[in-house]
Amino acid sequence: MTKQRLQPLLLDLLCVLALVVIGTRNHDTDTGVGGVLYVGAPFWIAVAIAHGAPLTQKTGPKALPNKWMVVGYTVVMGMVLRHFVFDRGTALPFVVVATLFLAATMLGWRALAARRSALT
């Protein structure tokens, strides 16, 4: 995997980690490695799918995933996996907070990176 593909993936995974760590600390749930992995797993799987989807194209350039697609996939597929596979809650307030947090962080680092590259 090239640096051009790996860096966005790692930064998006870190955005999910931040959501999970803040959430587990605020709700006094398991903040150990096991607890964080269990809460974050559905969203990390969704991030991986979002970043891997362009690589499955049979023809044409294998472009980086669209930033809106990454946020959308992460939230929607993360919530679906969380509910149906991990048997965890998806209450509306959680969906709203997770959506806003992930959109702000995932789009935020991209905006900062674009600004930085425009200045150089």
Q: Which tens digits make up the pLDDT trace of 41-84?
A: 999 999 999 999 877 766 666 677 899 999 999 999 999 999 99
Q: What is the model's pLDDT at position 59?
A: 64
Which domain range does residue 91 map to?
Answer: 3-119
pLDDT of 32: 87
CA distance 51 to 12: 10
Report the domain count for the chain.
1
Which DSSP symbol is given to 64? P
25 neighbors 119 (Cβ within 8 angstroms) = no
Digit-coded pLDDT (tens) for 83-100: 999 999 999 999 999 999
Asked whether the beta carbons of 44 and 13 are under 8 A apart, the reply is yes
pLDDT of residue 61: 65
Global pTM reads 0.90
Which of 57-80 are b and which e, b meaning 16 or more Cβ less than 10 Å from the residue's Cβ?
Answer: eeeeeeeebebeebbbbbbebbbe
